Amino acid sequence: MTQEEHSHVMTGASHLADCHPHHRILFDPIKIGPVVAPNRFYQVPHASGMTEANPRVRAAFRGTKAEGGWGVVSTGAVSIHPSSDDSPLPFARLWNDADIASHALTTEAVHKHGSLAAVELWHGGAVVMNRTSRLPPLSPSGVPWAATHIGFMGQQRPKPMEARDIDAVLNWQRAATRRALDAGFDIIYVYAGMGYLGYEFLLPEYNWRTDGYGGSLANRTRFVREMLEVTRDEAGGRAAVALRISLEELRAKPSDHYESEAHGVVSLLSDVPDLWDVKMDSSPNDCGASRFRPEGAHEPIIDFVRTVTDRPVVGVGRFTSPDTMVSQIKRGVLDLIGGARASIADPFLPEKIRQGNSDAIRECIGCNICIASWHDGVPVRCTQNATAGEEWRRDWHPERFRTAEEPESVLIVGGGPAGLEAALIAARQGFDVTLAEQRSDWGGRVLQESQLPGLAQWRRVRDYRVWALSQLGNVAMYTDSPMAVADIASADARHIAVATGAHWTTHLYSPLEIPSHPLLGPRVFTPEDVFEGRVEGDRVLVFDYDNYYLGGVIAEHLARRGSHVVYATPAGHASAWTFMTNELPYVYKALGEQGVDILTTTKLDHFDGHHATLSNLFNEQSLQRAIDTVVVVGLRQPNGSLYQSLQTAKASGDSALAGASITLVGDALAPGAIVHAVHSGHSFARALIDGGADYLRDEPVTLSEPQPVFVDSGNP
């Protein structure tokens, strides 16, 4: 494939010569109101964490997906007015004309490849706290959304909207539509999902109004209808109008006239939007982690929409298999295959299917680190795709690589996520790569952890890379090969990457909220002991201050195996950080189903082989549990001894190492989540060519003079 060949979304049968005949339907052009999507691959709106502060980073991120064949590429939420201010979470905006130019960079990047650009205009209603604008949040009836939810808690309650507020929002939507057209968007959204303003009008729990916008289903639908109408009116046939709507709660509501209220809303608005973008209501259900939610989990909720409207329907389901996508179309569930995470993990997914090369798809593992990036308030990161967010600032393309002028030899020690990624990218850049792993199989921690409950899809981190490496002729791969300094020296490599991982310790937790001393004694274990099947015991305490998934997964695993499990953590929740990845509610469900006894704000002080002595982190009240086995999931330390020995040998004049670069990579450098290890391995390999060049810092695109934003409606 030449560069020119994949720089345009292609249509027409001749471009499908290599595509599996069964998958060709995915490349049908689809009419969406006045515009035509070149194929059925539709990157639905999703948060990127890239705001007006990072317009070039954002344009390159979205443009790369268009280049990879996504026929429609959407923005994330774009606020229409300062009363929809989600700070400190990142969001984009079209508040005044000063915001147009930065979005135009995105539409240009998308149009360059023949795709359509969609903008998700958004008013957050009661969900936003307007921490920066300090305007009162707006809502149908003053009902707050998740107002006591840690992380979203702003101690700000919304104002019940007066009639003039409704007029104002309609005016803001109209003004934002005009700006979106000026920025070059082809599809313009009205958003009525995920708790945001349009959704609040639809749901009787939020909408207590007694005027023409509340009460009957038709009345509750009126605000969304009017938002669609002003958008269509302003678009004037220059762009399509899409409705994004959450249907889970509505589908659960009986209706006098329809099968459910969801059927009612879709019937009442059937031909008002040009496109239906249908989804679930809460983030943990809508963007469910693979640990708890399978591919295609939305179907039971959204499967009816196409039977009620003749407008095209797009939906998601973390689809990565072309056969599943085709099945969605043939069974009449969807017209367009929506992808958010699938498009982040592999922006070139459509192009690979078009070329009949679907084995090469880098499948999303459903870990939701991308979503955690948004919760962190930073540009998107992806476990599978280290180039996500790095397309512009580091000039990392997911599929194209600069090649070495003189291929040098690279030895990588350790075949976990970091070593596999380092080997793959080094090899794609033309280096002569040797990869050595002491165990009998590839994958490091991923191979081990993916055997635990719910984590099977995480194995894709290993499987994709092992497969991709097997396609290359310049890689030698050796398992059962523990490497010591002498072995490495005799390999005579120009570059050495030490990707030897990290190990868990049994350190306890101090009142200073940092690791303290190791817990010693019989039947005290670490996660490695769990992986190796060494943990036995009827009454097991899992003491977790790692606070991500592993402590909870191990508790679930041991309980499923028949142990009575007590799970204790100094954090306020079990697996507290999984709040960031949308898993937390399901962690509790899973632990509850297995009868795990959960103790929060609790630390382990002492274990005598029969009893564990614990205490409350804050009031120090002590409690005891009869326990015969302890697993500590707390501190990880790098496996750094090999690296240190290599440096010592090099410094002492070992001639075989004298000219070699020696680099720590992945968990051996700094223990972290898998996403960090993959990024570290990738960075190592890119640096072989670019020397680890500094990245470019993005700057806002601004007008010469700051412009006012009209905070009021102008409709007294």
Q: Which residues are catalytic?
A: 196
Binding flag, residue 527, ligand ADP (CB under 6 A):
no
Q: How far is the CB of 434 from ligand ADP (least distance, A)?
A: 11
Residues 641-700 that bind ligand ADP (CB under 6 A): 642, 666-668, 677
120 or 583, CB closer to ligand SF4?
A: 583
Q: How far is the CB of 21 from ligand SF4 (least distance, A)?
A: 29
Q: Residue 653 contacts by C-beta under 8 Å, 6 or more apart in sequence?
A: none
User: What DSSP string runs through 323-349?
Assistant: HHHHHHHHTTS-SEEEESHHHHH-TTH
| CB 293 within 8 Å of CB 590 | no
Contacts 24+ apart (CB under 8 A), 522-525: 522/609, 523/609, 523/628, 523/629, 523/630, 524/607, 524/630, 524/632, 525/629, 525/630, 525/631, 525/632
- Contacting ligand ADP (CB under 6 A), which of 438, 600, 613, 647? 438
Three-state DSSP string of 352-393: HHHCCCHHHCCCCCCCCHHHHHHHHCCCCCCCCCCCCCCCCC
- Could you tell me which stretch among 45-53, 407-415, 593-601, 654-662 binds ligand ADP (CB under 6 A)? 407-415
325 or 496, CB closer to ligand SF4?
A: 325
430 or 454, CB closer to ligand SF4?
A: 454
344 or 553, CB closer to ligand SF4?
A: 344
Q: What is the CA radius of gyration of the chain?
A: 27
292 or 643, CB closer to ligand SF4?
A: 292
Q: Which tokens hold the place of 416?
A: 């976990």
366 or 638, CB closer to ligand SF4?
A: 366
| CB 269 within 8 Å of CB 243 | yes
Residue 92 interacts, among ligand SF4, ligand ADP, none and using kind-specific CB cut-offs from 5 to 8 Å, with none
Q: How far is the CB of 463 from ligand SF4 (least distance, A)?
A: 13
Q: How far is the CB of 410 from ligand ADP (least distance, A)?
A: 15
368 or 594, CB closer to ligand SF4?
A: 368
Task: State in Å, rounded, how far the first CA of the chain is from the last one.
Answer: 60
CA dihedral 207, 209, 211, 217 (to 10 degrees): 40
Residue 226 interacts, among ligand ADP, ligand SF4, none and using kind-specific CB cut-offs from 5 to 8 Å, with none
Nearest to 373 by CA among 344, 342, 395, 416: 344
Print the binding letters for residues 478-517 with ligand ADP: x by CB under 6 A, - otherwise.
---xxx---------------xxx----------------
Give ∠ CA 214-215-219 in degrees, rounded to 5: 55
Q: Which tokens hold the place of 643?
A: 């690296």
Nearest to 95 by CA among 86, 166, 660: 86
Q: How far is the CB of 111 from ligand SF4 (least distance, A)?
A: 25
Q: How far is the CB of 441 from ligand ADP (least distance, A)?
A: 9
Q: For residues 527 and 191, what is the distance between their CA atoms, to the nearest angstrom?
A: 44
263 or 462, CB closer to ligand SF4?
A: 462
294 or 609, CB closer to ligand SF4?
A: 294
Summarize as ranges the residues that interact with ligand SF4 (CB under 6 A): 341, 344-345, 364-370, 382-384
- Could you tell me which stretch among 157-165, 332-340, 409-417, 546-554 binds ligand ADP (CB under 6 A)? 409-417
165 or 346, CB closer to ligand SF4?
A: 346
Residue 308 interacts, among ligand SF4, ligand ADP, none and using kind-specific CB cut-offs from 5 to 8 Å, with none
Q: For residues 270 and 250, what is the distance between their CA atoms, to the nearest angstrom?
A: 15
Residue 188 interacts, among ligand SF4, ligand ADP, none and using kind-specific CB cut-offs from 5 to 8 Å, with none
Q: How far is the CB of 372 from ligand ADP (least distance, A)?
A: 18
Residue 417 interacts, among ligand SF4, ligand ADP, none and using kind-specific CB cut-offs from 5 to 8 Å, with ligand ADP
Residue 413 interacts, among ligand SF4, ligand ADP, none and using kind-specific CB cut-offs from 5 to 8 Å, with ligand ADP
| CB 598 within 8 Å of CB 567 | yes
Nearest to 227 by CA among 261, 266, 189, 182: 189
Residue appearing with tokens 């007015």: 81
- Contacting ligand ADP (CB under 6 A), which of 315, 414, 454, 570? 414
Give, in order, the Cα–Cα distances in Å from 241 to each of 34, 120, 232, 681, 685.
9, 10, 6, 43, 44
- Count residues contacting ligand ADP (CB under 6 A)? 25
Q: How far is the CB of 420 from ligand ADP (least distance, A)?
A: 7
Binding flag, residue 444, ligand ADP (CB under 6 A):
yes
Print the binding letters for residues 356-385 with ligand ADP: x by CB under 6 A, - otherwise.
------------------------------
312 or 350, CB closer to ligand SF4?
A: 350
Q: For residues 136 and 83, what is the distance between their CA atoms, to the nearest angstrom?
A: 7
| CB 153 within 8 Å of CB 168 | no
User: What DSSP string runs through 156-185?
Assistant: --PEEPPHHHHHHHHHHHHHHHHHHHHHT-
Nearest to 674 by CA among 367, 224, 346, 316: 367
129 or 483, CB closer to ligand ADP?
A: 483
| CB 592 within 8 Å of CB 569 | no
Residue 444 interacts, among ligand SF4, ligand ADP, none and using kind-specific CB cut-offs from 5 to 8 Å, with ligand ADP
Residue 345 interacts, among ligand ADP, ligand SF4, none and using kind-specific CB cut-offs from 5 to 8 Å, with ligand SF4
Nearest to 284 by CA among 124, 120, 149, 128: 149
Cross-strand bridge partners of residue 312: none
- Half-sphere exposure of residue 379: CA atoms within 13 angstroms, side-chain side: 23
Q: How far is the CB of 142 from ligand SF4 (least distance, A)?
A: 36
- Contacting ligand ADP (CB under 6 A), which of 72, 413, 524, 558? 413
- Contacting ligand ADP (CB under 6 A), which of 45, 350, 415, 551? 415
Task: For residue 652, count CB atoms less than 10 angstroms from its CB and return exposed for 0-12, middle for 13-18, buried for 19 or more.
Answer: exposed
| CB 39 within 8 Å of CB 53 | no
216 or 641, CB closer to ligand ADP?
A: 641
Q: For residues 567 and 569, what is the distance between their CA atoms, to the nearest angstrom?
A: 7
Q: Which tokens hold the place of 299?
A: 């179907």
Residue 365 interacts, among ligand ADP, ligand SF4, none and using kind-specific CB cut-offs from 5 to 8 Å, with ligand SF4
Residue 383 interacts, among ligand SF4, ligand ADP, none and using kind-specific CB cut-offs from 5 to 8 Å, with ligand SF4
**Strand order from edge to edge, sheet including 539-544:** 524-525, 629-633, 539-544, 564-568, 597-599
- Contacting ligand ADP (CB under 6 A), which of 62, 244, 428, 445? 445
Binding flag, residue 118, ligand ADP (CB under 6 A):
no
Q: How far is the CB of 478 from ligand ADP (least distance, A)?
A: 9
Q: For residues 373 and 384, what is the distance between their CA atoms, to the nearest angstrom?
A: 14
Q: How far is the CB of 169 from ligand ADP (least distance, A)?
A: 48
Binding flag, residue 439, ligand ADP (CB under 6 A):
yes
Residue 482 interacts, among ligand ADP, ligand SF4, none and using kind-specific CB cut-offs from 5 to 8 Å, with ligand ADP
- Could you tell me which stretch among 231-239, 431-439, 537-545, 584-592 binds ligand ADP (CB under 6 A)? 431-439
Q: Which tokens hold the place of 259?
A: 């099968």
Q: Which tokens hold the place of 399?
A: 């599929």
Q: How far is the CB of 469 from ligand ADP (least distance, A)?
A: 14
Residue 367 interacts, among ligand SF4, ligand ADP, none and using kind-specific CB cut-offs from 5 to 8 Å, with ligand SF4
* Interface residues toward ligand ADP, by CB under 6 A: 413-419, 436-439, 444-445, 481-483, 499-501, 639, 642, 666-668, 677
